[in-house]
Amino acid sequence: MNPFSSETRLRDMIRAIRACKTAAEERAVVRKECASIRAAISDNDNDYRHRNLAKLMFIHMLGYPTHFGQMECLKLIAASGFPEKRIGYLGLMLLLDERQEVLMLVTNSLKQDLNHTNQYIVGLALCALGNISSAEMARDLAPEVERLLQFRDPNVRKKAALCSIRIIKKVPDLAENFVNPVASLLKEKHHGVLLTAIQLCADLCTVSEEALEYFRKKCTEGLVKVLKDAVNSPYAPEYDISGIADPFLQIRLLRILRILGHGDADASELMNDVLAQVATKTESNKNAGNAILYECVETIMSIEDSGGLRVLAINILGRFLSNRDNNIRYVALNMLMKAISVDGQAVQRHRATILECVKDLDASIRKRALELVYLLVNETNVKPLTKELIDYLEVSDQDFKGDLTAKICSIVEKLSPEKLWYIDQMLKVLCEAGNYVKDEVWHGLIVVITNAPNLHGYTVRSLYRAIQTSGDQEAVVRVAVWCIGEYGDLLVNNIGMLDLEEPITVTENDAVDVIEVAIKRHTSDLTTRAMCLTALLKLSSRFPSCSQRIKDIVNQSKGSLLLELQQRSIEFDSIIEKHKNIRSALVERMPVLDEATYSGRRAGSLPAAVSTSQGNPLHIPNGVPKAADAPLLDLLDLSADEPAPQNSSGPNFLQDLLGGDILSSASQSGTTQPQKSGTDALLDLLSTGAPPAQNGSSTVDIFSISQDNNKTSVNALDSLSLPVVTSAQSSSASSIIDLLDGFGPAPTVPKDNGPAYPPLVAFESSSLSIVFNFSKQPGSPQITQIEATFSNKSSDVYTDFIFQAAVPKFLQLHLEPASSNTLPGNGNGSITQKLRVTNNQHGKKSLVMRIRISYKLNNKEILEEGQISNFPRDL
């Protein structure tokens, strides 16, 4: 006979599985066994059904799929005998969970069993219902359970009480039905019933305010008395745990008193005595006693104030904290965290012990202690505590460093008494664990550095030293590179020496060395390398004698596979080589970053914005015009805010600076003027994707924004010669990648002029141009009607002309049919097509669109694509 047919006994199967030497062997045995069980199931074998189910449960525990056995559970439950039901319910609880549809099928059997005459069968059904009931079942069977709360046998009543907990958790509206039965259960003597009734009572109080009020009025006194009796009860072996009578009951009583006493002075008053009794009389040399004390302390902390009791509680915690048992210490740390809001002073007294716990071997204790220390730090103790923590950082576990640095940084940031101290501490943290800090941390450090002008020299020198010793910590490298770029001259000339500093001799070449090492380090990531390039550009102006060397280093990145680095190095190279006259102005020192804005942003958790404000190189253009607002900021070192809304002083400002000539020359510049050399970085830099400058508005935009933020750009503007600006104006808004694309919104039309927008040249190539005309219906500002006019500048006819457009999710686009699909040459006619765009984020985001035009020229397919991001801002 096959030893693995369904005739095998459970014991034999388990033996066979245990005898397997490899996982593959085990799988084979299980597979065979499952096959025979399946066969038995399809044969509807009654005799061995319970045995098969038991086997399935074992197989299930090993982690194999057993869903095919689910129906067997239902069949066994529906059988009449107790043994079948017992194994059936066990299987049900083990193999199914509340989310399976099959479970619904068992509702009817459950209902019958809940009404069964055999109390053990009722018990099985209650147990199953309590463990895996779904909301639907809970609703259907609640009346049965409610009735069973009054069943003659206490062992059924206690099961029904716990089952009710599940029911009210699933369906909180049913709570009120249980309030009265529970009130009578709370008067019972049977411990099991009391335990479960108290638990149910606690759960009722959390789901229903009315229930809480009811129990508070009716039951507080009685429960206090029960606790008193329990505390004073004589030795009862049945409930005794290491010399304490039923700690489980005492703990639950303390817990319910906590709920009832919380926020109610009268109820709290009633329980004062008994709490004092528990706190003083309970033995604390065994775990059970400590569990009660722990619960008691928590109750004392939660109920209404009674000074004497709180002193008692804090003393207990003090004892816990010095206990040698790790569990007790862990619990004490947990409790002290809650106690801190009640009596911070008392907790402060244990600071030294808590600090020791931060260095414990046990990760659970360390974590708790660290959180507690974090709460304990204040202005007066921040310096010694931070020192302790930073000292510990050196020797702490690798996997604890992340948590620890985050907390130290947060403490230092929150409570630093002066900037010098802040910078010093942060440098220490970065040197120890620069690879563990989050980006916000070093971003924040840079903000603070820019805000401390008298410390610039000191900081850059400290960083120079730090990078020598801790060059493997990414965050140190980044901050150092940034600062050397900014304040390289202070480093070399020892400017701004503080008294406590030792002078160091750093040559210009040394400073460049640091950055060269950083950019070449293979572990440096894109952000660091990009920052290095920017720093090099800055140094090329600060250290003219190193200019050639820097240019060589920058050039090495020209071949980088990372688009970002490649583009940056090409641009910077071009600036270093060809535009010496504006370079020094371009790379002026960063303006002071606004701390308030920074922290405000961070509070609003806008990481993207934060990194922009940091001039985070990742936001530098990577060839996608729509990301182009960061680049200008970065190149001109305007760090800060998002492009400010155009302000009215813009045009005046421009006129002041450039005089009317420019405006007129700008207005002459037409769209058809041939584009100047596209490789010229500066042209690129200043070419605008804006409506071709008929009114010079794009320039206004750029520089008015600049003005908003920073004087540097004013300088930059000063040094721009007139022709440059003009040619910049004239460069057409074609699809070349223009850095300033995002900055060239069409002129803002004053609101009172109604919805009138100038036409926009949306696309322009040598052969094709598209002009958008906008109109809005009054009353629906979010909808924009666009009339697109396509004209053909070549001499050939385009056939099969198709225009397609795509928009991001916050927009909806409706395209109407075009007026024709043939576009005659030489501008002898045009196609028009209407688009309707609905902007769901009107006022917050402006329109943006990707377009694709396909047509046939002499039967040859031609495809053109582009992106339009220079829509008028308030569409």
3-state DSSP call for residue 841? Answer: coil
Give the closest residue to 682 by CA, choosing from 578, 552, 531.
Answer: 578
Q: For another protein, which residue of 16, 37, 41, 54 counts as binding (CB under 8 A)?
A: 54
Residue 635: CB minimum distance to another protein, A: 45
Query: In the structure encoding, which two tokens stand for residue 654, read together?
Result: 């421009």
- 329 scored as a contact of another protein (CB under 8 A): yes
Q: What is the C-alpha to C-alpha distance for residues 273 and 269, in angstroms, rounded to an integer?
A: 8
DSSP symbols for 797-830? PEEEEEEEEE--TTEEEEEPPPS-S-B-STTS-E
3-state DSSP call for residue 839? Answer: strand
Q: For another protein, which residue of 34, 59, 249, 662 counts as binding (CB under 8 A)?
A: 249
- 590 scored as a contact of another protein (CB under 8 A): no
Stretch that binds another protein, among 355-363, 457-465, 720-728, 830-838 (CB under 8 A): 355-363
Nearer to another protein, 101 or 502 (CB): 101
Instruction: Check residue 831 and report its DSSP letter.
Output: E
Nearer to another protein, 286 or 551 (CB): 286
DSSP symbols for 750-800? PGGG-SB---EEEEE-SSEEEEEEEE--TT-TTEEEEEEEEEE-SSSPEEE
User: What radius of gyration do the chain's Cα atoms show?
Assistant: 38
Nearer to another protein, 328 or 376 (CB): 328
Q: For another protein, which residue of 82, 184, 243, 308 counts as binding (CB under 8 A)?
A: 82
3-state DSSP call for residue 7? Answer: coil
Query: In the structure encoding, which two tokens stand for residue 503, read together?
Result: 């002078």
Element (H, E) at 572: helix 563-578
Nearer to another protein, 247 or 625 (CB): 247
Residue 390: CB minimum distance to another protein, A: 24
Query: In the structure encoding, which two tokens stand for residue 43, read together?
Result: 């044969």
Q: For another protein, which residue of 113, 246, 474, 764 counts as binding (CB under 8 A)?
A: 246
- 156 scored as a contact of another protein (CB under 8 A): no
Decide: 551 and 497 in contact? Cβ < 8 Å: no
Nearer to another protein, 123 or 691 (CB): 123
Nearer to another protein, 58 or 464 (CB): 58
Please give the residues from 165 up to 194 whose contact with another protein meets the rule CB under 8 A: 165-166, 191-192
- 149 scored as a contact of another protein (CB under 8 A): no
- 199 scored as a contact of another protein (CB under 8 A): yes
Nearer to another protein, 249 or 635 (CB): 249
Residue 111: CB minimum distance to another protein, A: 18
Q: For another protein, which residue of 58, 442, 757, 790 counts as binding (CB under 8 A)?
A: 58
Q: Round to the nearest angstrom and report the end-to-end CA distance of the chain.
A: 83
Strand partners, 861: 856
Stretch that binds another protein, among 242-250, 268-276, 525-533, 581-589 (CB under 8 A): 242-250
User: What phi and psi values does residue 765 have, to the nearest 5 degrees?
Assistant: -135, -175
Q: For another protein, which residue of 52, 220, 282, 290 counts as binding (CB under 8 A)?
A: 290
Q: What is the C-alpha to C-alpha distance for residues 160 and 152, in angstroms, rounded to an integer?
A: 12
Residue 301: CB minimum distance to another protein, A: 12
Stretch that binds another protein, among 259-267, 282-290, 547-555, 584-592 (CB under 8 A): 282-290
Query: In the structure encoding, which two tokens stand for residue 707, read together?
Result: 């003005």
In this structure, the number of other CB atoms found within 10 A of the CB of residue 504 comes to 11
- 291 scored as a contact of another protein (CB under 8 A): yes
Tell me, rounded to whole angstroms, the distance of Cα 596 from its chain centroid.
22
3-state DSSP call for residue 646? Answer: coil
- 159 scored as a contact of another protein (CB under 8 A): yes
- 57 scored as a contact of another protein (CB under 8 A): yes
User: What phi and psi values does residue 774 have, to the nearest 5 degrees?
Assistant: -105, 145
Which residues lie closer than 8 Å to 501 by C-beta, 6 or more apart? 458, 461
Nearer to another protein, 196 or 616 (CB): 196
Q: What is the C-alpha to C-alpha distance for residues 258 and 250, in angstroms, rounded to an integer?
A: 12
- 61 scored as a contact of another protein (CB under 8 A): yes
Give the per-residue contact string, 210-239, with another protein (x = CB under 8 A; - = no).
----------------------------xx
Nearer to another protein, 323 or 820 (CB): 323
Nearer to another protein, 336 or 483 (CB): 336
Q: What is the C-alpha to C-alpha distance for residues 833 and 817, in angstroms, rounded to an integer?
A: 6
Query: In the structure encoding, which two tokens stand for residue 559, read together?
Result: 């071949």
Strand partners, 756: 775
DSSP symbols for 178-203? HHHHHHHHTT---HHHHHHHHHHHHH
- 356 scored as a contact of another protein (CB under 8 A): no
Residue 332: CB minimum distance to another protein, A: 11
Stretch that binds another protein, among 31-39, 122-130, 448-456, 662-670 (CB under 8 A): 122-130
Residue 136: CB minimum distance to another protein, A: 14
Nearer to another protein, 326 or 791 (CB): 326
- 130 scored as a contact of another protein (CB under 8 A): yes
Give the per-residue contact string, 518-557, with another protein (x = CB under 8 A; - = no).
----------------------------------------
Nearer to another protein, 191 or 478 (CB): 191
Q: What is the C-alpha to C-alpha distance for residues 423 and 448, in angstroms, rounded to an integer?
A: 8
Stretch that binds another protein, among 52-60, 268-276, 346-354, 661-669 (CB under 8 A): 52-60
- 120 scored as a contact of another protein (CB under 8 A): yes
Strand partners, 849: 868
Decide: 760 and 749 in contact? Cβ < 8 Å: no
Nearer to another protein, 365 or 762 (CB): 365
Decide: 721 and 715 in contact? Cβ < 8 Å: no
Stretch that binds another protein, among 38-46, 364-372, 573-581, 767-775 (CB under 8 A): 364-372
The half-sphere exposure of 412 on its side-chain side, counting CA atoms within 13 A, is: 28
Tell me the number of residues near another protein by CB under 8 A: 66
Q: For another protein, which residue of 5, 20, 116, 248 counts as binding (CB under 8 A)?
A: 248
Stretch that binds another protein, among 91-99, 216-224, 306-314, 760-768 (CB under 8 A): 91-99
3-state DSSP call for residue 690? Answer: coil
3-state DSSP call for residue 639? Answer: coil
Nearer to another protein, 89 or 798 (CB): 89
Stretch that binds another protein, among 118-126, 277-285, 499-507, 649-657 (CB under 8 A): 118-126
**Strand (E) positions, 459-561?**
none
Q: For another protein, which residue of 4, 214, 215, 294 counts as binding (CB under 8 A)?
A: 294
Stretch that binds another protein, among 88-96, 593-601, 617-625, 639-647 (CB under 8 A): 88-96
Query: In the structure encoding, which two tokens stand for residue 871, read together?
Result: 């829509």
Task: Name the residue type at position 677.
Answer: S
Nearer to another protein, 142 or 530 (CB): 142
Which residues lie closer than 8 Å to 149 by C-beta, 6 or more apart? 157, 160, 161, 164, 178, 181, 182, 185
- 327 scored as a contact of another protein (CB under 8 A): yes
DSSP symbols for 65-96? --GGGHHHHHHHHHSSSHHHHHHHHHHHHHH-
Decide: 611 and 619 in contact? Cβ < 8 Å: yes
- 757 scored as a contact of another protein (CB under 8 A): no
Per CB under 8 A, residues contacting another protein are 11, 14, 18, 54, 57-58, 61-63, 65, 81-83, 86-87, 90, 93-94, 97-99, 120, 123, 126-127, 130-131, 155, 158-159, 162-163, 165-166, 191-192, 195-196, 199, 238-239, 241, 246-249, 251-252, 287-288, 290-291, 294-295, 326-331, 361-365, 367
